[in-house]
Structure 1
Amino acid sequence: SRDYVVYVIQPSGTIGFGQEFSARHVNAWGKRTADDIIEGTKQFCKEHSFVDAKKIGCIGASYGGFMTQYLQTRTDIFAAAVSHAGISDVTSYWGEGYWGYSYNSVAAADSYPWKNPELFTKQGSLFNADKINTPLLLLHGTVDTNVPIGESIQIFNALKLLGKTVEFITVDGENHFISDYDKRIKWHNSIMAWFARWLQDRPEWWNELYPERHL
């Protein structure tokens, strides 16, 4: 309805394609999955000439938010990205997230920051923030118990210090999922306005929602 083509890929680590395929996720923290997404996106554009390969957006939430951030450290094929409740530092998520330890007991079986520090740093966006060139929108509920809001705060601070294009929207009183109807409408509109700004060269909606302020 907004003149976008939506491509949803099932990369290594997803379910539905057998145990070996889903087990590729273990102790990878995104590296192989990112390669699949980048390759799949390029191939999709190659096979569909009606897709503008220079105006591709990327969006994800939770682990998808982590992946959205991490992808921007690996490629410049995306013209804009949106990360909701994304993980920027695997180490801090492991220690602070409500599900961090239990999630990692499966996703990073037998790996801990003191045993495999490279896994917990090299695959996160925070330790690779200087590689991000894509305009990035971060969204996070202020009382997220699954992925603490600090995960967005620290990557936002890093990107601002680096002079990168980044915006950060907090949704007051919301957890991992934006459940309040009115806030969810504003959350959704913010995402669409961000993509309109960078993918359709129509910044008016974004500027109306978030006019530039000078302190």
Structure 2
Amino acid sequence: MTRADDDASTRNRPGRATALAVALLLASGAAAACDAGGENKAGGGNPRPRDASATPSGAGTSAATGSTTPPSTVSGGPLTLAELARRPCRAIDDEDTGSSKLGIFTDATETNYDAKSCQWGARGGLVSFTPYTSTDQTKAEKFKHLTQKNISGNRALLGGITDHGRETYVLLVSVGGNQSFRLMVVPLGEDAPGPDAPTLATNFAKAILTHLK
């Protein structure tokens, strides 16, 4: 299926479009809760409410401060995390988006909440990618409760937080040199096709790591 077919299919499924709009709203709030040390499975503090003036509104708007970008293309070889910090939607190659791979069905959307990020709607959930060029988030005290993982030889932490009554999954991946990136996944719902949120986050992380130098 081509990207055009995917877009047409999405437009013809109002239920999926509504779910994606809701997920986008939740993802922006979840990112803020994560950075504020929001509530996690094991307990933790209460998530900090977002300023209502910064909350996206309208089912057709993915983010109040974001902009839809053309499909991302990784060209000219691997990219550094600093390059992705400037253009985070280049983290995923067009070849990664097919239904047999990441199953992305919306174009990349750049947002700028706690840091410049990129969001995709994929089979299984909404995925948000945020690079950190001067912080290794896997070493942060506030994330020590997350489960340690090894993804393509890189130290990683994976776990869930609860924001506005909805569970969101966060995956932090160290890329060396006191750098890291974060993936957050908001599941689209129990009936939505695709992998579970932890698997989806891991699949995105593996794809992104193949494009980093």
Q: TM-score, normalised by structure 2?
A: 0.24
Bigger helix share: 1
Bigger strand share: 2
Q: TM-score, normalised by structure 1?
A: 0.24
Larger Rg: 1
